[in-house]
Amino acid sequence: MSVTAAPAIGTFNPRDLLRAQVKWRHLETLFWLATLLPFLVAPSYLVLGSQIAIAALFALSLDLIVGYSGLVSLGHAAFFGFGAYTAGLLAKAGWGEPITGLMAAAIAAMVLGYLTSFIIVRISHFALIMVTLGLCLLLYEVANKAHWLTGGDDGLQGVRMWPLLDMFRFDLYGRTAYAYSLVVLFGSFLILRRLINSPFGLSLRGIRENARRMPAIGSPSSNRIRTVYIISGTFAGIAGGLLAQTTEFVALDALSFQRSAEILVMLVLGGAGRLYGGLVGALIFIVARDQLADMNPQYWYFWLGLLLIAVIVFLPNGILGGCARLLARWRRRA
Amino acid sequence: MSTPALATRALDKNFASLVVARGIEISLPKGARHALIGPNGAGKTTLINLITGMVRPDGGQILLDGDDITGLEPAARVKRGLVRTFQINTLFPNLSALEAVTLAVCERRGEAGTWWRSLPTYNAAIEEAYGILATLMLAADCERPTRQLAYGQQRLLEIALALAARPKVLLLDEPAAGVPKDESGELFKAVAGISSDITVLFIEHDMELVFRFATRIIVMVSGAILVEGTPAEIAANQRVRDVYLGQAHHG
């Protein structure tokens, strides 16, 4: 041992200090129970709910890169769209089984992540923004050109899904779609929550906090970056696959720059690096778009811009970051 | 003679026309306490960057325990026991001290790539990290984010992160940099407490501390080694005196 033994610790165990952070909170149980409410109180919003769940999963996947590892991506829709086209094309070709189709989307996105990860680890900052954006634009134009395969800007028509588990048909009211999206979101969330609270998750935060120090503590950080990039891409692909399956359609804009930018906006609104930030951001963004677009379709981006500026200026850690600060202040007073 | 813990052979490095290392040859026996001194810009930190692989040499060799490590990545050198600290705090501002040192311990144990197990289950790693923090008097504040620690505590955390890698050779780049003179002795007590199995090379400007803690001193000037010797020899050396005292009358 290079250090003398620690002083007598007694009943105190230092791991309790770290356990507090990973503990499942009551608020979390409440949050997930609340996701079931739409079935009871707002059955006409289940289609919207499914869109929110899908965007939430997509934002969650981006949070691994942006919030936890401190990297940037302006092209995450590449994985989302790739997963969407994989699931959509598979169903169109005659294999409409949802779960295996979703796995195919995940694997396809994983392979795309693996291939592009070689470039990603070589660059950082501004160059990374440009390269991720470039990859996304490139795929968009490929999909646009391959009209025979993807339907180009008409979108991919003729996607027919089989009933989920051979029992639940994808109905018009979005009941199956919402339940399916929610289960996939929750399952993915549990996996990613574990990942964030693991030693690997800690090393990601280390990269975010000080990439320069990581090699000096013996961390092969470029391997870590590649791994998280591939995992993040995989979950984005699952989100894309879900969209294709639940809407039985793939629009070209699944691969668009706008999709990449919007998901980043949702994450930043909710609060990056807090696990629930993407979920809350997706909820607020999509509900607000739905409500505001009903009132005033042309001006939706005006309000979005205003909201974004207000959040960035007054709540630099997003809406959840602001809530956490309020809560801390309130606790101190109590 | 036994193999030196760390040695360099004819290490060269130029930044364009600026020579920052010229034919550097050092040799540290196991358990050494060597100080590296020299005026600002002599190339002391560059030498540490070269040895740890953060800067690639133009020529020469670096030997760790007799093995040529010149071609290894920085992280791979740390894995082999060659570890450094930084002159300017290079820490993880929003990680707590306990998290940061636990991360370093997990990296050493090869566990930091595991994503399917929860961190609190790594009891041994966490206790080891806590133990290191306790020996450096950081245990009481180990839960606070690094950015909230006092400057002197952050300097200690620099050392804690290095110790977590269980170094065989430890390169300390001005461990007391920025610490007020009356507190730097405290910091060097932590340095003095480092196990004698670990070979230490440290950069320091305060001659009092150098003479107190070093068994040998290496003097660098303009990218080259001027002289090496025991503190007594260095104190008596006319060329060293010229460099330190006589910059005005041209040494």
Using DSSP bridges, classify how beta strands B169-173 and B82-84 pair: parallel, antiparallel or unpaired. Answer: parallel
**Per-residue pLDDT for A180 more than 90?**
yes
CB B144 within 8 A of CB B97: yes
**Per-residue pLDDT for A5 more than 50?**
no
Contact B194 A206 (CB under 8 A): no
Task: Give percent of chain A above pLDDT 90.
Answer: 55
For A135-162, letters b (16+ CB in 10 Å) and e give bbbebbeebeeeeeebbeeebbeebebe
CB B133 within 8 A of CB B162: no
CB B3 within 8 A of CB B186: no
Number of Cβ pairs < 8 A linking chain A and chain B: 163
For residue B224, list its beta bridge partners: B221
**Residue from A19, A198, A227, A232 to probe the interface with B (highest B Cβ count within 10 Å):** A198
pLDDT for B251 equals 35
Does the pTM of the predicted model rise above 0.80? Answer: yes
Residues 6 or more apart whose Cβ sits within 8 Å of residue A143: A81, A85, A150, A152, A252, A255
DSSP state of B129: H
The SS3 assignment for B230 reads coil
**Residue from B64, B98, B103 to probe the interface with A (highest A Cβ count within 10 Å):** B103
pLDDT in tens, B123-133: 999 999 999 99
**Per-residue pLDDT for A316 more than 50?**
yes
Over range B235-241, report the average pLDDT. 87
pLDDT for A297 equals 67
Contact A227 B113 (CB under 8 A): yes
Closest CA to A234 of A273, A286, A176, A195: A195
- A212 to chain B, closest Cα gap in Å: 7
Place of tokens 């339940």: A179
Provide the 10 A C-beta neighbour count for residue B150.
9
**Per-residue pLDDT for A323 more than 50?**
yes
For residue B36, the surrounding DSSP H or E stretch is strand B33-37
pLDDT in tens, B180-202: 888 888 888 888 889 999 999 99
pLDDT band (50, 70, 90) for residue B105: very high
How far is the C-alpha of A136 from the C-alpha of A273, rounded, in Å? 23
Q: Domains in chain B, please, with CATH? A: 6-92+166-245 (3.40.50.300)
- A238 to chain B, closest Cα gap in Å: 19
How far is the C-alpha of A175 from the C-alpha of A168, rounded, in Å? 9
The pair of structure tokens assigned to B247 is: 């910059």
Residue of chain A whose alpha carbon sits nearest to that of B167: A2
ipTM associated with this complex: 0.90
Amino acid in position B202: F
Using DSSP bridges, classify how beta strands B67-68 and B59-64 pair: parallel, antiparallel or unpaired. Answer: antiparallel
Task: Give percent of chain A above pLDDT 70.
Answer: 96
The SS3 assignment for B39 reads coil
CB A259 within 8 A of CB A62: no
CA angle A203, A204, A208 (to 5 degrees): 115
Contact A202 B119 (CB under 8 A): yes
Q: Can you give the length of chain B in residues?
A: 251
CB A252 within 8 A of CB A152: yes
pLDDT for B245 equals 60
How far is the C-alpha of B107 from the C-alpha of A70, rounded, in Å? 19
pLDDT for A1 equals 39
Q: Domains in chain A, please, with CATH? A: 45-333 (1.10.3470)
How far is the C-alpha of B97 from the C-alpha of B139, rounded, in Å? 9
Question: For residue A231, how many C-alpha atoms fall within 13 Å in the half-sphere facing its CB?
Answer: 24
Contact A2 B167 (CB under 8 A): yes
pLDDT in tens, A136-153: 999 999 998 888 888 888
How far is the C-alpha of A293 from the C-alpha of A228, rounded, in Å? 36
How far is the C-alpha of A199 from the C-alpha of B108, rounded, in Å? 12
Residues 6 or more apart whose Cβ sits within 8 Å of residue B246: none
Got the DSSP string for A75-131? -THHHHHHHHHHHHHHHHTT---HHHHHHHHHHHHHHHHHHHHHHHTT--HHHHHHH
